[in-house]
Each structure stands twice: as C-alpha cells, then as structure tokens.
Amino acid sequence: MDLEKIDDAISQRVQAMKNRLEGLRKSDLYYYNLPVQELKGGARVIVNGNEMGMYASYSYLGLVGHPRINAAAIAAIERFGSGTHGVRTLAGSLTIHKELEETIAEFKGTEAAITYSSGYATNLSVISSLVGRGDYVISDKLNHASIVDGCLMSGAKFLRFRHNDMEALEDRLKQVPNGAAKLVVSDAVFSMDGDIIDFPKTVELCRKYNAWLMIDEAHSLGVLGNTGRGIEEHFGMKDVIDIKMGTLSKTIPSVGGYIAGKFDLIDYLRHVSRAYIFSAALPPAQAAAANAAFKVILDEPWRIEKLTTNTKQFIGGLQERGFDTMLTETAIVPVLCGSDEVAFAMTGTAHQSGVFVLPVVSPAVPPGLARLRATVTAAHEPDEIDYAMNVIEEAGRQVDLI
Ligand SMILES: *Cc1c(COP(=O)(O)O)cnc(C)c1O
C-alpha cells in the first residue's frame, strides 16, 4: 500500500509517529531499541561499541548471566530441545513446567501456580478469565498497561481510582452494587515511580467489601522482603492475596508470567484462560532457567541485602545532589526532569559518559513529569553507583535542573 496516496485515519496515525520519530532521530535524541552487544559481567554492557554501566535493567538481583542459571537452560535444551510440542493442554507440557510451577507455588507460599508465555499475556488472560460483563474490576490509575488492557478486554465495568489513594479505592468499592463480583487489581511496586502500594489498607478494604485481590509483583519479586518473596513478606503478612501475579522476565532472568494461588483457582485458569490454552508452552530453556533462578535467590540471600544497600545509596545520593526522585523506595528510581527535552538532553550526556539510563516521556507518563527512569541492581558496586550519580549530576547542571 502506498502510504503517500491514501489519507485515512490509519495513514494519519502512521505519519504522525513517523514525524515524531524523524524529529528525534535527526537531533540524535532517539535512545530506544538500542541493542546490547555484550554482557561484560556485573552491571556493565557494551552498546554501540562503548562499555557502559547499565542503569536501565530489570535484573534487580543481577541474575542475568548467572552460571548456574545458564547451565540449567543449556541442560534443558540438551534434554528437551529448543521448543515444545505445542500448547500446555495438549502435547506441550514437560516435566520442567511442572517443576517450575511447584517451585513458584512454594516460593510464594501457595497451593499451586500456573505459568504463561509472558507477564503481559498473563494479565490480559487472567483478568479477562475472572471477570466479565456485569462484574466490576477496580484498578489503580498508575497500574501497568497489561493490567489496563486486561481490564478493558474483560468487558467488566472498569473503575479506576486515584493512585494509591485508599479513600478513593473505598469510594469505588462502595459504588459496586450489592452482589456483583468485584476484583481489585494493583501493582505492588509501581513501574514508573518505584513507590509501594499501601498494601495493609488495600487488603483490609478488599476484605471489608468482599472483593477479590490480585497483585502484580513484576517489580517486587526478589526485591521486597528479607528473602525476596515480595509484598506480603515486606509487610509481614501471610497469604492475603487471592491472585498473586508475577513475571519471569525481570528479577527472574527468563521470560514468562505466573499466577500463584489456591489449587481450585489455578485449576480453573488452566481450563479457562485463553493464553494458556491457545498459546505455546514456555520453551524448555526458559522454564529451566526460571526454575533455577528461584533457587539461586534462596541460596544467595546476600543479593537482596546488596540490592537494599545499593538502593539506599542511589536514592539518597541523588536526593543529596538536589534531584527529585518522587516517592520511590525501591530499585526503580525516577529522576524527575519535567519536560521531555530535558529528559532527552540528560540522557545524551549520560550516555556520552558511559551511563546507560533511559528517558520516560509522555504518553508513558503525564506531560510535565518526564524523567530519567534509572534502576539499580545487586550487580552494581558502590563506586560504580557514585560514578553514575556524578554523571547524572553533571547532566542535571548542564540543563539547569539542579
Ligand atoms: C513488565 C511488567 C509486566 C509484563 O511482564 P512481561 O513478562 O515483560 O510481559 C506486567 N506487569 C508489570 C507491572 C510489569 O512491569
């Protein structure tokens, strides 16, 4: 199709994006989709031929490239090959899938667990398998796109509440007519801001109003709690989440998503959720890598301690240098820039000095709240973090941010 000749809504959308991207690329301000050429051990990578400190990674415990996890993946390929025989329900299930699901259930303290081929697919499929027309789904305004998409796809009445505002949540719960099914969904740690949900109050409200509670632990698994078990451990609460969702692509250096919960719930999902029934099983190497990673987390508890120390150093140091890091308490550290231009300019300076951070701009965050979204991991050393903070400080001075 000749895009120049037609002028319908589709071509206008494509053209508008083309113009925006061309503008950024011409000014050398396009930083997305940059391929990492090589891991250099620890938290260093080679990008565009330059060695850089990696401050945009979700590998919070520094497990990407861990020898024991790599070995498990290689052994699984040798035993089962590189793919499966199809979907889990038919010929795609392998013993390694069963082992992984048992490992997850044990780690999360539940009766059972189910895995999917991505966290995104998990949220989409699970939310829309649990609620539908006539039901209500209630979601924090800053929840991840995969939650929003799952809520929309479900066809349930979709109510959103002001970010982490428990009065607003209660108002929403009161709005639901008597007897209607209700599901409350929230991130545990918010992916753009790094702040933590008011979990005890959320649990209390769900109980008071008989709502099901689903929590997405993409950024809290391996990050929160003394043994990395997540949000419940962080608040000293036990098994108070009905639907414990997480991803195998962040702290766990693989790919996939999971739900942990009661056996009957998991069995229901296994026979209803379409991403499980109609999409191929996790590849053997990825299932084995994920399974090994949970064991490494338990066997190497120093990683969680080191992440906590590094997080304190990074947030504290950036604040001392005069930056606004918003409400973060975790390894996701927003450095508020304001305008998109400031965020792009600071990213450029950081990259030139060997610090790999990325800008997050509208529409991913509201206009005026553009930021560098830096992450710190257990693989960073204190002197590397100091260096990165000094570079970000210099970048901030150049644009008069601090
Ligand atoms: C990354 C992320 C997902 C999606 O997980 P993938 O496994 O990458 O598809 C879901 N929820 C949140 C909060 C995330 O940050």
For residue range 4-27, what is the model confidence (pLDDT) as tens digits?
Answer: 677 899 999 999 999 999 999 998
What is the rounded distance in angstroms from the CA atom of residue 183 to the CA atom of residue 157?
A: 10
Q: Which of 144, 182, 244, 250 is catalytic?
A: 250
Tell me which of 109 and 29 has the higher pLDDT: 109
* Ligand 1 and 144: CB distance under 6 A: yes
Other Cβ atoms within 10 Å of 299 Cβ, number:
10
% pLDDT > 70, the chain: 99
Q: Strands 36-39 and 44-47, how do they pair?
A: antiparallel
Q: Which of 129, 191, 254, 273 is catalytic?
A: 191
**Which domains, and CATH codes, for the chain?**
23-54+301-398 (3.90.1150.10), 67-299 (3.40.640.10)
Q: List all residues 6 or more positions away from 97 whose beta carbon is below 8 Å from its beta carbon.
A: 88, 115, 281, 282, 287
Q: With a threshold of 0.85, does the pTM exceed it? A: yes
What is the rounded distance in angstroms from the CA atom of residue 97 to the CA atom of residue 45?
A: 31
Mean pLDDT of all residues in the chain? 96
364 alpha carbon – ligand 1 mean position (Å): 14
Please determine, for residue 353, whether its predicted confidence score (pLDDT) is greater than 80: yes
Please determine, for residue 350, whether its predicted confidence score (pLDDT) is greater than 80: yes
Confidence (pLDDT) at 1: 63
pLDDT in tens, 325-335: 999 999 999 99
